[in-house]
Chains A and B, each alone.
Chain A
């Protein structure tokens, strides 16, 4: 599912806010959106791993996207939102401030990430585009989870 974005002409994206920045991901990757529930922390996990929660009997890891992008660490409250996304067959909860919009977009309107961005940012940001004068970053979810140690399953 990594390359389908390039192939399709017009697609739907789901936009969300972290702090005062706006991002979006392919809507097909998002399974559901739910409110914040307290997570169980994992030992020795990176700071952006908020822990795990119970999603109808399954154990769902929660990634604080803001911390993952190096923006800010959220102190989650009831107002925060978890987007449950399917990333390469795994279900992952993405902690964001709010879900703002559903955007329709053609590939031509996406501009590659400018060179000013650091390598780290470019790992996650596939491109940027403008909508109603705001800048929105298109996120690639594939590298959101910490690198899994050599288990190719």
Chain B
């Protein structure tokens, strides 16, 4: 709200927002690895995520986070380089490490308590054990290198390892001047490509970045030719160990985009002199230069060898790949120079072959922009008004008595189509895949399975199913609750499972799919299924049903949605704190959703949630009841019919039922039940709309007339007033007046007077309170 946000805090906020995305990428990648669907690029993506978190955290001085991320990253880097296997054990450790990383981030954000040192340290130890194998402790003895005993130094264990960045740049103690270096490192032959010059400052190293990694990132984009410029390296006596003196020139092919190159330097741009230019401008020279430079007096390999001899610490460019590239380039430089003199074509003939061996660029992410949610909401509100205005206009024109074929009407129809298209597009802006919610659940499942001692495998599908952001946000809680239930109550213990002839590991399925304009979420387990006898006994015990009530299996299953119902024999930490499925059901209902359960004894239970794709608009049937205009959600309507006198019967003389498809369903006079009219209307003067409630029960709602089908913008009644029984929300119609949107389930429940029914019971409770 306040306009004066500390700019530093604002940047930090952006960092944490990015962290959320990075964590999602991280977890997504790790899960892909776990399921064996990941490849090398997945490992890279996972590494990049952790690395980015570390980089950002370093900038904000979040030490605990940096330390943890560093150890994490080190192991990932080993895996990435193929030096460590990416087996099940490792992936599982990595997954837990990602949980702790998330906790560290939450703590840094101030949303959670600091991560317990022991937990973090235990995982650090595990990660290190995997990184260094049995030799891990040795690394800690690296002389003079350990700045922080918390993290053993990897350098000694692997001298050429790229991970020296944590400890800042330690320049190599030898004098390059004596090696008679050419004044300028030779740019080696590529014409229409990029020439990147990077001269890191000391503070770049101080903030945990390292040129070697940057060069390696570049080499992933495409073939690189790297040359070192050590011109500014002072003599030993003048050397400041904290300063950066070296510069690099990288030649790259033109097929790499400048944006990709800039991305590599994203974190460090401010801390180094960076020029990125097309090498093509200088193409003619390039042909000449190699001839001169082809036989530089430096042998980089020899130089390196001496460097590593001379100093125990690796030079800042010790990454194997680029060095090799540089050495190769130096050696190869002679070849093009020799081969080329006669070639009048100035450029890219010989080297192009090298360049076109294009490394696959990182899986091209679709171009996206970040937009403030407020702006999107403003747009959505405006479109909402547009829809209302359009409907208002259509109504006015309709009333004006224009002929059907006038240009105005067809223009209006076009306008309506356009309006709908705009609305759909705007809604699509807010649509998000449910992935973010699903990913959070994997952690939950791990934790709950740890706590319960049950072995659980979570199988998810349809993560890419998109739904409005407001719905996504509110999905997490009910799904969390139901997954906990599925593991805690649904799945049996491993012993019981084995005894029942099932695998010891239980499976929990979490699936999302689109079905007829709604999103359906299914949560299934392969556990024991609902113990109907126990549910029934408990319901009787709690006075929810009469001891002699005759209930179908489905009705028994649905008892678990009754308020205060919990079937776990022992109230555990995980679920069953007295709030049960009734809470889930209510939160789903408040989203305009439905929940149902199917259960097969011995084979498991499946909960099915059905939710609207958006909470902003609704397809409705506009009806008239006692001069009031009401809207019934189209999704609940089965069909409409005109009652004839013979179709309606009265149970016990006053409760009307109507014959519908060989069955009798209750007939509810909506205007009467809402108090809009003092006495019920005669059924045959109105229209009956058959609706289906979330529990699958059918009822017929009696209205005076049906006006038509229309998409309406949902307006909350609660904003300025309060919830009204029987009313889900309000909307504004074409004439500018407010119309109420019916809560069909509540209307049917209120009209029912059978006390054994849970719904009736609940509504009674509500009325009493």
Binding site for B on A (CB under 8 A): 38-45, 51-54, 57-61, 90-92, 145-146, 148-151
Residues of A within 8 A of B716 (CB): 59
Asked if A57 meets B381 with Cβ closer than 8 Å, knowing A90-B719, A90-B720, A149-B722, the reply is yes
Question: Other than the known A42-B727, A43-B740, what 9 A-B pairs have Cβ atoms closer than 8 Å?
Answer: A44-B725, A53-B738, A57-B381, A57-B384, A57-B388, A57-B732, A90-B719, A145-B722, A151-B723
> Are A92 and B720 interface neighbours, CB within 8 A?
yes
Report Cα–Cα, A145/B736, bound state, in Å.
24
Chain B nearest CB from A62 CB (Å) reads 10
Asked if A43 meets B676 with Cβ closer than 8 Å, knowing A54-B737, A90-B721, the reply is yes
Q: Which of B721, B723, B736 contacts A54 (CB 8 A)?
A: B736
> Are B722 and A151 interface neighbours, CB within 8 A?
yes
> Are B675 and A54 interface neighbours, CB within 8 A?
no
Residues of B within 8 A of A44 (CB): 674-675, 724-726
Residues of A within 8 A of B721 (CB): 42, 52, 59, 61, 90, 92, 145
Residues of B within 8 A of A60 (CB): 720
Please give me the residue from chain A that is nearest to B629 by CB atom: A40
Chain B nearest CB from A88 CB (Å) reads 11
Please give me the residue from chain B that is nearest to A61 by CB atom: B721
- A sample of 23 cross-chain residue pairs with beta-carbon separation below 8 angstroms, ordered by A number, consists of A38-B737, A39-B738, A40-B628, A41-B628, A42-B724, A43-B726, A44-B724, A51-B738, A54-B732, A54-B738, A57-B385, A57-B732, A59-B715, A59-B719, A59-B730, A61-B721, A92-B720, A92-B721, A145-B721, A145-B722, A148-B722, A149-B722, A149-B723
Report Cα–Cα, A148/B676, bound state, in Å.
23
Please give me the residue from chain A that is nearest to B732 by CB atom: A54
Q: Contact string, B567-607, partner A, CB cutoff 8 A, digits 1/0?
A: 00000000000000000000000000000000000000000
Residues of B within 8 A of A41 (CB): 628, 676
B739 at interface by CB-CB < 8 Å: yes
Report Cα–Cα, A91/B769, bound state, in Å.
25
Report Cα–Cα, A92/B738, bound state, in Å.
15
B717 at interface by CB-CB < 8 Å: yes
Asked if A58 meets B715 with Cβ closer than 8 Å, knowing A43-B675, A43-B724, A149-B722, the reply is yes
Report Cα–Cα, A44/B751, bound state, in Å.
14
Most buried by A among B717, B719, B738: B738
Report Cα–Cα, A151/B676, bound state, in Å.
27
Chain B nearest CB from A71 CB (Å) reads 22
Chain B nearest CB from A18 CB (Å) reads 22
> Are A57 and B720 interface neighbours, CB within 8 A?
no
Report Cα–Cα, A92/B717, bound state, in Å.
12
> Are A91 and B737 interface neighbours, CB within 8 A?
no
Asked if A52 meets B730 with Cβ closer than 8 Å, knowing A90-B719, A149-B722, the reply is yes
Q: Which of B381, B629, B674, B720 contacts A43 (CB 8 A)?
A: B674
Asked if A40 meets B674 with Cβ closer than 8 Å, knowing A59-B717, A59-B721, A150-B769, the reply is no
Asked if A40 meets B739 with Cβ closer than 8 Å, knowing A57-B381, A57-B732, the reply is yes
Residues of B within 8 A of A45 (CB): 724
Binding site for A on B (CB under 8 A): 381, 384-385, 388, 628-629, 674-676, 715-727, 730, 732, 736-740, 769
> Are B725 and A40 interface neighbours, CB within 8 A?
no
Residues of B within 8 A of A38 (CB): 737
Please give me the residue from chain B that is nearest to A86 by CB atom: B720
Chain A nearest CB from B601 CB (Å) reads 39
Most buried by B among A39, A40, A41, A59: A59
Report Cα–Cα, A74/B20, bound state, in Å.
56
Chain A nearest CB from B219 CB (Å) reads 56
Please give me the residue from chain B that is nearest to A84 by CB atom: B720
A-B contact count (CB 8 A): 78
Report Cα–Cα, A18/B328, bound state, in Å.
95
Report Cα–Cα, A145/B720, bound state, in Å.
10
Residues of A within 8 A of B727 (CB): 42-43
Q: Which of B388, B629, B717 contacts A52 (CB 8 A)?
A: B717
Chain A nearest CB from B741 CB (Å) reads 11
Chain A nearest CB from B632 CB (Å) reads 14
Q: Which of B381, B388, B719, B738 contacts A40 (CB 8 A)?
A: B738
Residues of B within 8 A of A58 (CB): 715, 719-720
Report Cα–Cα, A39/B725, bound state, in Å.
18
> Are A40 and B720 interface neighbours, CB within 8 A?
no
Residues of A within 8 A of B628 (CB): 40-41
Chain A nearest CB from B423 CB (Å) reads 15
Report Cα–Cα, A63/B126, bound state, in Å.
66
Residues of A within 8 A of B629 (CB): 40
> Are B675 and A59 interface neighbours, CB within 8 A?
no
Residues of B within 8 A of A92 (CB): 720-721
Residues of A within 8 A of B718 (CB): 151
Asked if A52 meets B676 with Cβ closer than 8 Å, knowing A59-B716, A149-B722, the reply is no
Please give me the residue from chain A that is nearest to B740 by CB atom: A40
Residues of A within 8 A of B736 (CB): 54
Chain A nearest CB from B7 CB (Å) reads 30
Report Cα–Cα, A76/B628, bound state, in Å.
17
Residues of A within 8 A of B717 (CB): 52, 59
> Are A57 and B715 interface neighbours, CB within 8 A?
yes
Report Cα–Cα, A148/B716, bound state, in Å.
15
Residues of A within 8 A of B676 (CB): 41, 43
Chain A nearest CB from B75 CB (Å) reads 46
Q: Which 8 interchain pairs have the tightest Cβ spacing?
A: A43-B674, A61-B721, A40-B738, A90-B720, A59-B730, A52-B738, A148-B722, A59-B715
Residues of A within 8 A of B388 (CB): 57
Chain A nearest CB from B550 CB (Å) reads 33
Please give me the residue from chain B that is nearest to A147 by CB atom: B722
> Are B720 and A91 interface neighbours, CB within 8 A?
yes
Please give me the residue from chain B that is nearest to A63 by CB atom: B721
Chain B nearest CB from A77 CB (Å) reads 17
Most buried by A among B388, B675, B720, B769: B720
Residues of A within 8 A of B722 (CB): 145-146, 148-149, 151
Please give me the residue from chain B that is nearest to A44 by CB atom: B675
Report Cα–Cα, A149/B739, bound state, in Å.
23
Report Cα–Cα, A146/B725, bound state, in Å.
14
Report Cα–Cα, A143/B717, bound state, in Å.
18
Residues of A within 8 A of B737 (CB): 38, 40, 53-54
Report Cα–Cα, A42/B674, bound state, in Å.
8
Please give me the residue from chain A that is nearest to B736 by CB atom: A54
Report Cα–Cα, A8/B417, bound state, in Å.
56
Report Cα–Cα, A60/B715, bound state, in Å.
11
Residues of B within 8 A of A149 (CB): 722-723, 769
Residues of B within 8 A of A91 (CB): 720
Chain B nearest CB from A8 CB (Å) reads 25
Please give me the residue from chain A that is nearest to B722 by CB atom: A148
Please give me the residue from chain A that is nearest to B766 by CB atom: A149
> Are B724 and A59 interface neighbours, CB within 8 A?
no
Please give me the residue from chain B that is nearest to A87 by CB atom: B720
Please give me the residue from chain A that is nearest to B721 by CB atom: A61
Chain A nearest CB from B172 CB (Å) reads 64
Chain A nearest CB from B739 CB (Å) reads 6
Chain B nearest CB from A90 CB (Å) reads 5
Residues of A within 8 A of B738 (CB): 39-40, 51-54, 59
Please give me the residue from chain B that is nearest to A39 by CB atom: B738
Residues of B within 8 A of A42 (CB): 721, 724, 727, 740
Report Cα–Cα, A40/B740, bound state, in Å.
8
Residues of A within 8 A of B732 (CB): 54, 57, 59
Residues of A within 8 A of B675 (CB): 43-44
Residues of B within 8 A of A61 (CB): 720-721
Chain B nearest CB from A82 CB (Å) reads 13
Chain B nearest CB from A136 CB (Å) reads 27
Most buried by B among A39, A44, A53: A44
Report Cα–Cα, A51/B730, bound state, in Å.
12
Chain B nearest CB from A45 CB (Å) reads 7
Report Cα–Cα, A45/B725, bound state, in Å.
10
